[in-house]
Each structure stands twice: as structure tokens, then as C-alpha cells.
Structure 1
Amino acid sequence: MILITDSGSTKCDWIVIDDNGNQLHEKIRTKGLNPAILKEKKLNKIIRNSDDLMQFKDKVTHVFFYGAGCGTSKPRLMLAEILESIFTNATIEVQEDTMAAVRATINHSNEAAVVCIMGTGSNCSYYDGKKLHQRVVSLGYILMDDASGNYYGKELIKDYYFNKMPEDIKVAFEHKYNLDADYIKYNLYKQPNPNAYLASFAEFMFLNKDSEYIIELIKKGIRVFVKNMIFQFKEELKTVPVHFAGSIAFFSENEIRQVANELGFTVGNFERRPIEGLVAYHTNQL
């Protein structure tokens, strides 16, 4: 029995399949398990509090975990140890979420491509058909994560407070969210997962895409992401496509294609939820 997991900072999807590739349970969802942000006790609690997961804990033989915050060794090892303590009969493999995006978006297992994630956070890597290459180590949502949900949340809040929003957008924004300064600061500085809190504002963009202000905001973030991240692989871009995974990318496909035409690179596939592609990948490996 195999457990395949795709985790962001906001949510985590788990799918259980048998040795023949049959799904044994509907998709299980827990809160996100980002070991670079959450402490060991919290991570443990989130997993153990899922009755759906716990019914399989002694039967699982392999756990393939792909997650945000797993790109560096210390948090990756911490999460692996937690999973080993819960799924005691399983072999545990923990990889960064970028590898999930690769396996979910490429057309065949040895395809070379630049692969991007735009969800709560953002990242970009080059897959040469065998190995993953990164030229920028992510420093998280405060310093990086361009064109991510939390990036756009910050931009929207700043534009609101700096009076840069058109009046109709400002009114709609006020109607949808609690924009009291103390409430915002409480969520940013005294609550866990401030990156996920910021990302919760990004939905507003996709509900108001008839606004030129919103379209330009989306494209502004994409341009920054392209110049800072995708263009780390300028030589590779001459011969390979750029694939995208994550909800922000999925709902910004038109804007991404426009920026790609403007800045000169080839867009490939879009995958909103990598978990489906991961199931297909691991089923093919059985």
C-alpha cells in the first residue's frame, strides 16, 4: 500500500493506492505541512489528528511525500523522522514540492523542462530528464516567492493602504476582507502560517479579473518571477518549455502566456493540483 502526498503551506493532499495502482480512499486533506515554518509538535499533531490517515498507518509500505519547505536538509529530515514514527512499517521518501511539479507536468519521464510552482509560495527549477537543478535557494515568503499567493496578498494590502487601488476595487476589497490594521498585524505577526494568511487574499484577483488594475498586478508579479527565477536558466530556455504547477499559475495562464510572448520563452503545461499527476507517475512505477 502506497501513500502519495503533495503538501503546500496551506493544505496537504494524501492519496492511498494499492500495489496495483487502485485508489483505496477518496483524497484525504489536512492542513499544510511545511517543516520550514511549523514546529515538530505541530506537524505531528496535524497528521495524527486525521482519522482517515490513521486507519492506514500500519498498512502503508511506502510514503512518497512532496512538500513546500523540504528543499533543505534540516526540515526535510525532521519531517521524515515524524513520518517514520507514524508509518512505522513504511519506507519514507521526502522530496521538495518542485519534484512533485516536475513529475506532474512533464510529458514523459526523461523530458527536459524548466518547471515552476506558483501556489501559496513559488519556486523554479530545471529538470534535465534525470536530475533537478536549482540555481536559487528559496529564502521563503518574506524575501522571495514572487508571483505567489502570498506575494499577491502583500501587493493587494499595500496597494489598499497606499491608496493605489481604483475606487471600485477598493470598495470590493473592503467588502470581502477585514482590513483593520490591528487585525492584519495580529495575523501576520502573532499567528502561525502568515504566508498562508497573505495568500488567502489572492482569490480576490481571480474574482475581479475584469479590472485592468488586477490584470496589470498579475502580470507585474509574473514579470518579476520570470526575471528573478525563470531567467536563471536562459541557456536551457532556448531548447526546453516552461511548465507550471499550482493554483496561482493555473488561474493566471492567460497572463503567463502574454508575459512569455513579451519576454521570449516557450510555455508548456499547466497543472493546478500536482497530486493527480503524482498518482499517475507512481502507478506507472509499480
Structure 2
Amino acid sequence: MILITDGGSTKCDWIAIDKNGKQTADKIRTKGLNPAILSEKKLNKIIRKSDELIAMSNDVTHVFFYGAGCGTEKPRATLKEILEIIFPKANVDVQEDTMAAVRATINSNDEAAVVCILGTGSNCSYFDGKQLHQRVLSLGYTLMDEASGNYYGKELIRDYYFDIMPHTLKLAFDHKYNVDADFIKYNLYKQPNPNAYLANFAEFMFLNKDSDYIKDLIKKGLRKFTEHMILQFKEELQTGIPVHFAGSIAYFSQDEIKEVAKEYGFKVGNFVRRPIEGLMDYHIKNLKQ
């Protein structure tokens, strides 16, 4: 049995397939498993809390884990060790979530493209058809992650408190969320996964996209992301390669992304909300080769 995992900071989707590429069980969902943020104890607890995963632990021969926070060696090694203990008979491969986005969005295995992730966090890499290239190392939600869910959540809260948000939207925001200052600070500074907590507020944008304020907010973040991340590959983009996007923020911001792309002159490619489906196709093809 093979486990394929699309692991974000907010949630992880696990799909089990047999050696013939047939899905053997319904998709399993756990809380997010970002090893750059969560402790070893917390990572272990989240996985072991899933009865479905533990039930199949001795039948799994391969684990392909693509995750947020797995772009550097130490957190990647920590998560790999935990997975090897939980799935003792499995060959475990842990890679950064950008590679999941690449394999889920490109049109062919050797297609060159710039691939962006806009989900709870954000990232951008260049895939030359064989290897992944990343020129800006992500420093996470506190310093980077522009145009991500946690970026927009932070902006919405700030605009609410600075009285920049339009009055009617402030009323709606206040009705939908607990905006008590102590409650917000408790979740940001006392609870795990503050990035995921912030990202929860991003849904508000897509429920109110008819607002000029919201449209401007979305494009403001996308322009920052473009200038700091996408345009680091300016020379490659001049060859006409596409820019693909993965993640819920990207999926629901397609119109705004296309508008910003026209401003900066890059070619928009594919949009994938959840990379897990594309990963299934990729690994099934490789199983049959």
C-alpha cells in the first residue's frame, strides 16, 4: 500500500493506493503537520490520533509526503523519522510542498514552469523540467508569506482595528469572527499554529468579493508576491514559460491573478485547488512504468 500526503499547515490530506494504482480507502484528513512550526511530540500525536492511519500502518510500503515546512533539512528529517516509526515497513520520502504543486500543475513531467503556492502560506519556485530551483528561502509567516491566507488574515484584522475596513464590512467581520483583542492575542501568542489561525480569516474575502476594498486588498498582496517572488525568475519568464498556481487562495483569486499578471507581463498557466488529486495521477503513472 502506498500513502500520498499533501501536508499543509492547516490540514493534511492522505490518500492510500494499492500497487495497481487503485484507491483503497476514502481520503483521510488530519490536522496540519508543519515540522518547521510544530514540535516532534505534537507531530507524532496528530498522526497517531488518526485511527485510519494507524490501522494501515503495517501495510504501508511507501509514504510520499509533500509538506509545508519541509523545505529545509532539519524539519524534514524530523518528520521523516516520525513517519518511519509509525509506518515501520515503509520507504519514506519527505519533500517540500512546492514539489507537490509542481507535480500537480505541470502539463508534462519535463515541462518548465514557475510554480506558486498560495494557501495558508505562500511560496514560489522554478522547475526546469528536471530540478526545482528556489532563489528566496522562505522565512515563514512572520516575515514573508505574501498573498497567503495568513497574510490576508493579518491584513484584515489590521484594517479592522485601524478602521480602514469599510463600515458595512466591519459589521459583517465582527459578526462572523471573535474580534476581541485578548482572544486574538491568545490565539496568536499562546496557541499552536498562529499562521493557520490567521488564514481562517481569509475566507471573509471570498464571501465579499463584490467589494472594491476586498478586490484591492487581494491585488495588493498579489503585487507584493509578484515583485518579491515571481519576478525573481524574470529571465526564465521572458522565454514564455507559464506560471502555475496551487492552493485555495490562488484558486479563488484567479481573476485577480490574471489582472496582476497582465500588469507585470507574465503568462498564467494552470490553477489547482488541492494538489493531492494531481499527485495521485503522478504516482499512479510512475507505478505503472
Q: TM-score range by the shorter chain?
A: over 0.9
Residue 138 of structure 2 corresponds to which residue in structure 1? 138
Deviation, structure 1 residue 118: 0.2
Deviation, structure 1 residue 110: 0.2
Question: Counterpart amino acid of 1:282?
Answer: H
Residue 255 of structure 2 corresponds to residue 266 of structure 1: no
SS of the aligned residue for 1:12 comes to strand
TM-score normalised to the size of structure 2? 0.99
Would you say how many aligned residue pairs link Structure 1 and Structure 2? 286
Pairing of 1:178-189 with structure 2 (within 5 A): 178-189=178-189
TM-score normalised to the size of structure 1? 1.00
Deviation, structure 1 residue 238: 1.3
Residue 44 of structure 1 corresponds to which residue in structure 2? 44
Distance in 1 separating the partners of 2:163 and 2:201:
17
Residue 242 of structure 2 corresponds to residue 247 of structure 1: no
Residue 220 of structure 1 corresponds to which residue in structure 2? 220
Percent identical: 75
Distance in 2 separating the partners of 1:217 and 1:74:
35
Question: Counterpart amino acid of 1:59?
Answer: D
Residue 34 of structure 2 corresponds to which residue in structure 1? 34
SS of the aligned residue for 1:226 comes to helix
User: In terms of mean alpha carbon deviation, does 101-110 or 51-60 score higher?
Assistant: 51-60
Which deviations, in whole Å up to 9, do the C-alpha atoms of 1:44-91 show, x marking residues without a partner?
011111011111100110000000000000000000000000100000
Which deviations, in whole Å up to 9, do the C-alpha atoms of 1:13-71 show, x marking residues without a partner?
00000000000001000000000000000100111110111111001100000000000
Distance in 2 separating the partners of 1:151 and 1:236:
27
**Please, which runs of 5 or more residues in structure 2 have no aligned partner?**
none
Which deviations, in whole Å up to 9, do the C-alpha atoms of 1:196-238 show, x marking residues without a partner?
0000000000000010000000000000000000000000111
SS of the aligned residue for 1:130 comes to coil
Distance in 1 separating the partners of 2:204 and 2:164:
16
Pairing of 1:112-261 with structure 2 (within 5 A): 112-239=112-239, 240-261=241-262
Deviation, structure 1 residue 262: 1.0
Question: Counterpart amino acid of 2:270?
Answer: N
Distance in 2 separating the partners of 1:78 and 1:61:
20
Deviation, structure 1 residue 141: 0.1
Distance in 2 separating the partners of 1:7 and 1:254:
26
SS of the aligned residue for 1:169 comes to helix
**Please, which runs of 5 or more residues in structure 1 have no aligned partner?**
none
Q: Which runs of 4+ in 1 moved over 2 A?
A: none
Residue 78 of structure 2 corresponds to residue 78 of structure 1: yes
SS of the aligned residue for 1:234 comes to helix
